[in-house]
Structure 1
Amino acid sequence: MRDQHPAPDSSARRLSTKETAQLLGVKPETVYAYVSRGQLSSRREPGGRASTFDAAEVAALARRNRRESAGGSGSGGGDLSVRTRITLIDGDRYFYRGVDATELATHHSYEEVAEWLWTGRMQRGVAFAAPKATVAAARRAVDALPEHTTPTDRLRVATIAAAAEDPLRFDLSEEAVLGTARVLIPTLVAALAPQHRRGPDDGPLAHRLWRRLTGVDPTDAGLRVLDTALALLVDHDLAASTLAVRVAASARAHAYAAVSAGLGALEGPLHGASSGLAHRLLVDVLDQGTAVPVIADELRAGRRIPGLGHRLYQGEDPRARVLFDLLEGIPRAQPALLAARDIVATTARHAPLHANVDLALAVFTASCGMPATAGETIFAVARTAGWIAHTLEEYGERPLRMRPSGHYVGPRPPQPLPE
């Protein structure tokens, strides 16, 4: 990094990197990130190697950070706003670090897209691998769970076991966190019980995940859909689970703990479990041969039709569009595709909604012999990479900034002591 050299001012007090970091409430590495972004200027004193910083400029940056944090804290009743360089959703398209996410997902593997999200560099042919000891610890922990536990339960327990196996998990430097990510993601996949007796435990992550989702033999077309789905689902701005991750990272929880927070939020029926609801709906339509009675039952019960609509897109969910196009090339997916179109057309009589990625995942999982929970597993494994990206970004911000003020509406004090 090249220091900027403003004109010397002998009257201005200069701060060391340590003093600057303390005043801003960040790590020393973040101070230099501010310099690289042009938010701070630095200078090396004659005869010295360390950089120094103008006290007034540092104070102004600290005030600006506090104002921005307060403005997005939610204390005034507005929505929480978080600066991010990771994902932009604009119209009916979304972008990873400025590059169209659907283009990235269709031209690069999940691992390559993850690395792009983390580092802003494209690394062709990158593969993730986990130490045998970490995988063994995760498998032992997952194998001890009751049979009825959900995939997200298993992934959360595997994450905790992997953390316990890593005594250096409290190192929050970028290099250490990226090392954690490259180990944790394959560990999560390896900790799941195989459903297929044959298959690799190395190579592309999608190939390893396939045999843990279904006993059906993989095809090149099926593996491509799975790999593309993983890449499409890596991140999607500040979804509920991602916000939970950033809150944990703001408190300087280590990366495993931040991912655990995301997995906890993911399990809700309005988030990660939505694909399972869409899967069951699709299977019901396939069994009935038509969507009309199935949709009628859902509407009669007052339930929202899963797999349709998305609050961030007025038109079609771009993730669904990509997956549907790929599924057209899989002959055994044709009945499920027809059923999905029937669901959209039937529901359009009541509310004209487009298919979202949950319905596209349901077509994939239902046509490949996967259980209803497979979509949630795919979602969780994929999104772990995005959570790591947000964790790293949050580590570069002022700690504990995710602290909105409560609006108390209870009895006004002082109240008498309860009898």
Structure 2
Amino acid sequence: MASVHWAIQPVLALFVASSVLLTGAVERSPPSFVVDLDKPAYERWNSVIDANPDLGRDAPEIFKILTGNINMSNDTWGILFLMAEKIHKRLPAPFKEELQGMADRAKMPISLITLINLAYDLTAHCTSVVSTDANGTIWHGRNLDYNATTYLEKYTVHVDFKRGGKVAYSGVTFAGFAGMLTAIKPHAFTFSSNERDVGSFLENLLEMMDPNSKFLMVLIREVLEEAKNFREAISKFSLARMPAAIYVILGGLSNNEGVVLTRNRTHVIHEFAINMQSDRWYVLQTNHDPWLGDPWYDNRREAGETAMNRTGRNNITVDSLYDVLSVPKTRNKYTVYSTVMSASHPEAIRTWIRNSTELIPPPPVRASASNVVGRFGTFAAVLIVLSRNL
């Protein structure tokens, strides 16, 4: 675990220490893998899949939890699988081949690995913060929260994507997911994405049928491949049509290069950036529009901003950002991992798997057949229509 600044951060240190002492949770770094971009796409993820032999068994439950714990009938699963197979056929290279390779290696249906990738694209709850330190270096911290915490802690991995033996970009992802929700391109920019809670999974699934819509996993990898710097990354994330509304959080190399882009499916509707001239030395984003503030039931932003203001720009380090990401509310029972990174110092990236389910055991949340029948009926009917028109 990161060292704690007892002299600088007594209150934050107490929060962090007490959560560990009371629960006995032991944090750890995720295992690291290399995805060799010079290899055939079909083979690139073999080592990740081989290290996670339970993925095929756990994947159906992960998908159900991510999409709301609806107990679907075999008929509905069949329709979903049919849709996913057809969506997979429409994926561009190398993603079509990468997913097929994962599925075959894990002995999973291609439809299931495709559904998992779509669910990861659409359902993340997160906190992201981009800050400048006393020297003008940009630091990017993020908590990734999911309601399948117990499973996803198990499958969290760090991946270095290499070309010609050199790291082209890196990120934190999940075994079986070809995209990344936390990423860094060395000496260029850092990236994280947060779900914008606009539109249901079904509505976003409908949008995926639009051939002009680009899946998030595809867009992220393309931007990491093609964008040479912070400004180019902003441009590419701003212009693409996407199946779901989203917050894109980017950090660069110099003082003012930190931004939150609030997107709908077609374009950016709001930009909130670091502005040193206005003494705004950090930006922090959860899952609610920044101009509206937090709703009463979710005060992660308030907790995070209070911690940032208490820390102060002059004390921003990897460890102090870890402390900010560890305060109650910001870290919660659904926090899978925390990452701190800087494009200026790519070697300094740190990720902690938080064991947050030990912090506050989540209550069972499983919809019964009786209370989802109306929702399920509509869901199945729409899937049937979609499957016939793909």
TM-score (norm 2): 0.25
Higher RCO structure (Cα 8 Å, ≥6 apart) = 2
- Greater share of strand residues, 1 or 2? 2
- Greater share of helix residues, 1 or 2? 1
Larger Rg over CA atoms: 1
